[in-house]
Amino acid sequence: MSNDCKRLEPALHDWLEGWLDAPARAAVEAHLRRCPACRAKLEAWQAVGRALRALPQLPAPAARLPEPAPEPRGALRLALALCLPTALLMVAFRAPIDAPSVDALKPSAVVQTLTRPFTAPAQTLWNRLQEVI
């Protein structure tokens, strides 16, 4: 392959498609008249093009592609989307963040906290019952 062939090889496809302007087209045609290797390459490309055009055209499949699986991190994203504004509001309003003490988490402390509103009325009821009996 000569230097002239290497230089004109990219233009062969453009010539084949009819995309070249007149001076470039004339240069490629002059080269093709004197270069059997480039003519053979061009003929091979034309044969491939004819073979591809001769293939039957198949209709597109009627079936649709399956829906993509839901993203497994959707719940995590939702949780972060809900927690982030809350955290930003707490920082913006400088809300104190006090962690509960270990004693407050004991079952007896939880029961006392839950029953505290009912202790006084229950004690009053107990005192009345003792008066009656």
Which amino acid does the sequence have at 42? L
Nearest CA to 32 out of 22, 41, 21, 20 is that of 41
pLDDT value for 117: 74
Q: At what angle do helices 36-54 and 3-17 cross, to 10 degrees?
A: 30
Which ranges constitute the DSSP H helices of 35-73?
36-54
Residue 18 lies in a domain: yes
For tokens 């390459």, what's the residue? 41
What's the pLDDT tens digit per position in 68-97?
776 667 777 777 788 878 777 777 777 666
User: Containing H/E element for 83?
Assistant: helix 74-92
Q: Which two tokens stand for residue 108?
A: 């007896």
pLDDT value for 105: 67
Residue 130 lies in a domain: no
Mean pLDDT of each 10-residue bin along the chain, 133 residues long: 81 87 92 91 89 86 74 72 78 68 70 74 78 75
Q: Which two tokens stand for residue 87?
A: 């955290």
Range of 42's domain? 3-54
Residue 133 lies in a domain: no
Residue 46 lies in a domain: yes
Nearest CA to 12 out of 45, 52, 36 is that of 45
pLDDT value for 21: 93
Residue 37 lies in a domain: yes
Residue 42 lies in a domain: yes
For tokens 């107990």, what's the residue? 126
pLDDT value for 23: 92
Residue 50 lies in a domain: yes
Rounded to the nearest 5°, which phi and psi values hold at 97? -115, 95
For the chain, what is the domain count?
1
pLDDT value for 102: 65
Question: Could you tell me the CA-to-CA distances from 3 to 7, 9, 30, 31, 34 in Å, in that order?
Answer: 6, 10, 15, 12, 14
Residue 109 lies in a domain: no
pLDDT value for 18: 87
pLDDT value for 30: 92
